Amino acid sequence: MLKVNNISFSYGNVPCLEKITLNLEEGKIYGLLGENGVGKTTLLTLLCGLKKVQSGCIEVDGFDPYKRNPELLSQLFYLPDEVWAPNSSAIAFAKEKGVFWPEFSIDKFSQIMDIFEMDCAQKMNAMSAGQLKKTWIAFALACSVKYLFLDEPTNGLDIPSKAQFRKALMSFTREDSTIVISTHQVRDLESIIDPIIILDKRDVLLNASVEEITSKLYFDYGTTLNADSLYSEQLPGGFIQVYPNTTGEESKVNIEALFNTVHKNKEFIKGVFNHE
């Protein structure tokens, strides 16, 4: 269990996160969304212990991640948006660095590289940006950790690689893993992230499962505007609009529309979802 309790963090005199609280459960793939500059990357680096909270606390299975306990570190992996290109082949790098994670599997690494149609013998510093990102994703998944934090993992990936990423993620993560994916590319991950977190500098605007979201909000793909719409956007042939689900009907979440709905109706959304 990962618990974030009333944390704050600033860069000098510039506040980044203020009094953020949320709990993350096992066996979930969380989508972490937010506008530029709200602190998504900062939150991930706090969760994995690369930065220290300035107030409040974070507990990961009872550990403070900033204390860098080896037992916790062996069950945690953070993949930043920008990755390092070592002067070694992918397979040599994986064999050398994988020893730091007890459940790392070189066979799993090779299988994921196959999914990405990558050559394990290729030098990492000779790879394109997309190839390098896929190699690091393969390594991260092959570590088989309980806590996996991915910052914009689909940045730099072409369309086939994004589908391969989804396949690898769903095939090679532990059932008890807590996975947090920070992304602006919501359409790349719409089918796999659940629950959805929408972050603001001073608040968690939403932390809810897709089931809970659709039980309280209705996503209408019709031709007639609803007077109760919280958000609407014209599309070819009609509208996508979001309004309170007063009838209990099922609908399909559109994450872009959800994001815009939340940001236009912050207090209403927090009230509907009982966010403290």
Q: What is the dihedral of CA 268, 214, 44, 49, to 10 degrees?
A: 100
8 Å CB contact between 25 and 19: no
Model-level pTM greater than 0.75? yes
**Residue whose pair of structure tokens reads 């030098």 in the numeric block:** 123
- Determine the longest span between alpha carbons in the chain, in angstroms: 61
User: What is the amino acid identity at position 12?
Assistant: G
Residue in 61, 70, 66 with CA at minimum distance from that of residue 7: 66
Which pLDDT tens digit goes with each residue over 38-97? 999 999 999 999 999 999 999 999 999 999 999 999 999 999 999 999 999 999 999 999
- Cα separation of 190 and 253, whole Å? 9
CATH architecture of 2-86+143-206: 3-Layer(aba) Sandwich (3.40)
Which pLDDT tens digit goes with each residue over 189-213? 888 999 999 998 778 999 999 999 9
How many Å separate Cα 63 from the centre of its chain?
21
Which pLDDT tens digit goes with each residue over 228-241? 899 999 888 889 99
Q: Could you tell me the residue ranges of all domains in the chain?
A: 2-86+143-206, 209-272
